[in-house]
Amino acid sequence: MPDPNGFLRYDRRLPARRPVPVRISDWREVYPPAGEELIREQATRCMDCGIPFCHDGCPLGNRIPDWNDLVRTGNWDAAVESLHATNNFPEFTGRLCPAPCEAACVLGLGGQQPVTIKQVEVEIADAAVARDGLRPRPASVSTGRSVAVVGSGPAGLAAAQQLARAGHAVTVYERDDAIGGLLRYGIPDFKLEKQHIDKRLAQLTAEGVRFRTGVEVGVDVTAEQLRAEHDAVLLACGALQGRDTPETPGRPLRGVHQAMAHLVAANRVVAAAGDGKPAPATLPDGTPIDAAGKHVVIIGGGDTAADCLGVAHRQGAAGVHQLDLYPEPPAERDAARDPWPTWPWVLRNYPAHEEGGERVFAVAVQEFVDDGTGQVRAVRIAEVTVEKVDGRRIVTALPGSEREIPADLVLLAIGFEGTEEQPLLEQFGVTRNGRGAIDSGPDWQATDGVFVAGDMHRGASLIVWAIAEGRAAAAAIHTYLGGVGELPAPVDPARQPLAAR
Ligand SMILES: Cc1cc2nc3c(=O)[nH]c(=O)nc-3n(C[C@H](O)[C@H](O)[C@H](O)COP(=O)(O)OP(=O)(O)OC[C@H]3O[C@@H](n4cnc5c(N)ncnc54)[C@H](O)[C@@H]3O)c2cc1C
Ligand code: SF4
């Protein structure tokens, strides 16, 4: 029985982040562990409120009050079991999820601070590793059926684990040189050290999942070959088509890049250094892309932009501006606009924002300014207002508000336009919809025997949604293959986040 008064005795507390001067001198994770005493105290704040709205906030349906109480009472083995019953990779979500569950926590009603659900989750996840090193759970019986999973991000990996544990032979095809999708080379180590991915991969391998890296399906292996070799195919290729701004004057200048180009190059440097092979940050064609000593301008206000900010500081940028088209959001939930338990529009301060840089809101770039040699030297911005008219975004510049910001390196972090146009799509006979995503039927099939999940299906989203969709698509594939019983399916393809409108 949970403690009904814990939240009255304890305030919300998180472990202190590593000091800024220390953490920007390396690439290690920003958060230290909370420690047993603090995390048990924080888990005690969960009052087991009867109707746990946090379940609806979490796309995985994590049994949050159950494992909060197990942590409170020090029953770590049961907490590990309970968490893994709904989430294949809590070490990823516990570190990286924006925690819509916390926005839906009942304590958030009436002025209390929500339970530190995400922190409890990561402590349980790390306890699992410390206790039995992520013990493999291979299937006891093989079904004789085989599945190809294309793409090794969290959606593909969650599906692969579910299917392998159900006895199917699973092969994951990944065009990159390492497994993990955006977790590997998109998200920097200071948010997720790659040892966490490697430990899970060891578990999946021991459970029978085969990995083939450096294989681009549609190019190195055709759809026809994949269909011939496997009984079902899951497409989990992500939504990696970066939005660009080709109409802005000066876009072709040297020094103006997609944010992902910068992040991937930086992450590869960290990976190479860890392997004892130090290398400079370059694009695939060898062009250097490093913020050291540069004035950096990041365009965009989301996760990708914040990751570029943290990378720029660790690389030794001379200064960083982060530009956002929209006005500065309020510090607190506007209940009329986003009533509890929905996800509120509020100012989100990522750890990277504590590390320096200047955020500029309600501005748009009018021009990337040439230094006379074809290299960017500044961005010319104007203050703007943004309105929605008939669903279309109208951006209006305020006359006389233009000014220049110095820039040697400009990073475009303005979102993604769905899954990439690539040979695989035509070969499998699937087409991108208006949002650049791939639609599926209610059983996750995009076309006969070909299923789709994660960002490729939903559009650029979150790790928690990718894992939820991977689990649900695996359940549908298991049924399609005539598997015994049912696998858990936390979401259906039409499921949307909690919203008031
Ligand atoms: C910079 C950045 C930071 C982010 N930070 C967060 C965060 O903090 N928290 C959070 O919840 N979410 C975050 N996200 C979003 C999150 O990473 C994604 O929602 C999630 O990774 C999607 O998982 P996925 O498995 O659908 O696809 P992905 O992770 O994109 O993986 C798709 C994989 O498919 C492979 N692939 C594509 N085509 C082929 C082919 N033809 N053959 C073989 N392989 C192929 C790709 O190489 C890639 O490895 C971030 C995203 C970005 C870009
Ligand atoms: S996965 Fe995300 S939404 Fe679900 S419990 Fe963890 S932090 Fe909350």
Provide the 10 A C-beta neighbour count for residue 184.
22
Residue 114: closest CA among 58, 191, 183, 180: 58
Supply the mean pLDDT for the chain: 96
> How many Å lie between the centroid of ligand 2 and the Cα of residue 413?
25
Ligand 2, atom 3: nearest CA belongs to which residue? 58
CA angle 445, 460, 210 (to 5 degrees): 55
Residue 127 · residue 70 · CB < 8 Å? no
Residue 319: closest CA among 288, 293, 355, 345: 293
Mean pLDDT value of segment 478-496: 97
pLDDT at position 132 is: 85
Residue 381 · residue 298 · CB < 8 Å? no
Does ligand 2 have an atom closer than 6 angstroms to the CB of 125? no
State whether residue 39 is helix, strand or coil: helix
The structure's pTM equals: 0.97
pLDDT at position 274 is: 86
- Ligand nearest, relative to CA of residue 211: 1
Residue 83: closest CA among 356, 467, 398: 467
Instruction: Check residue 216 and report its DSSP letter.
Output: -
Does ligand 2 have an atom closer than 6 angstroms to the CB of 96? no
> How many Å lie between the centroid of ligand 2 and the Cα of residue 490?
13
Mean pLDDT value of segment 278-304: 93
**498 vs 476: which has the higher pLDDT:** 476
pLDDT at 259 exceeding the cut of 80: yes
pLDDT at 111 exceeding the cut of 80: no
pLDDT at position 49 is: 87
pLDDT at 276 exceeding the cut of 90: no
pLDDT of 134-174, one tens digit each? 999 999 999 999 999 999 999 999 999 999 999 999 999 99
pLDDT of 43-59, one tens digit each? 999 998 889 999 999 99
Mean pLDDT value of segment 308-313: 97
> How many Å lie between the centroid of ligand 2 and the Cα of residue 18?
23
Q: Which two tokens stand for residue 362?
A: 């309600």
Mean pLDDT value of segment 168-190: 98
- Listed in order, strand segments (DSSP E) in 317-449 are 319-323, 358-360, 363-370, 376-389, 392-397, 403-406, 409-412, 445-447
Does ligand 1 have an atom closer than 6 angstroms to the CB of 216? yes
Instruction: Check residue 261 and report its DSSP letter.
Output: H
pLDDT of 394-444, one tens digit each? 999 999 999 999 999 999 999 999 999 999 999 999 999 999 999 999 999
pLDDT of 25-81, one tens digit each? 999 999 889 999 999 999 999 998 889 999 999 999 999 999 999 999 999 999 999
Does ligand 2 have an atom closer than 6 angstroms to the CB of 93? yes
Cα-Cα-Cα-Cα dihedral sign, residues 103, 46, 39, 127: negative
pLDDT at 277 exceeding the cut of 80: yes
Does ligand 1 have an atom closer than 6 angstroms to the CB of 231? no
Query: Cα(376)–Cα(368) distance, rounded to whole angstroms?
Result: 6
Does ligand 2 have an atom closer than 6 angstroms to the CB of 62? yes
pLDDT at 95 exceeding the cut of 80: yes
Q: By percentage, how much of the chain surpasses pLDDT 70?
A: 100
pLDDT at position 308 is: 98
Residue 40 · residue 72 · CB < 8 Å? yes
pLDDT of 209-234, one tens digit each? 999 999 999 999 999 999 999 999 99
Given the structure tokens 């969650």, which residue do they identify?
A: 158
Residue 100 · residue 57 · CB < 8 Å? yes
pLDDT at 110 exceeding the cut of 80: no
Name residues whose C-beta falls within 8 Å of residue 387's C-beta, 6 or more positions apart in sequence: 393, 394, 396
Residue 242: closest CA among 222, 264, 215, 220: 264
Q: Where residue 501 falls among pLDDT bands split at 50, 70, 90?
A: low
pLDDT at position 224 is: 98
Q: Select from 66, 105, 121 the residue to mutate for testing ligand 2; criterion: most ligand atoms less than 8 Å from CB.
A: 121
CA 459 → CA 44, 235, 262, 281, 397, distances in Å? 37, 13, 22, 29, 29
Q: By percentage, how much of the chain surpasses pLDDT 90?
A: 92
Q: Select from 30, 87, 182, 235 the residue to mutate for testing ligand 1; criterion: most ligand atoms less than 8 Å from CB.
A: 182
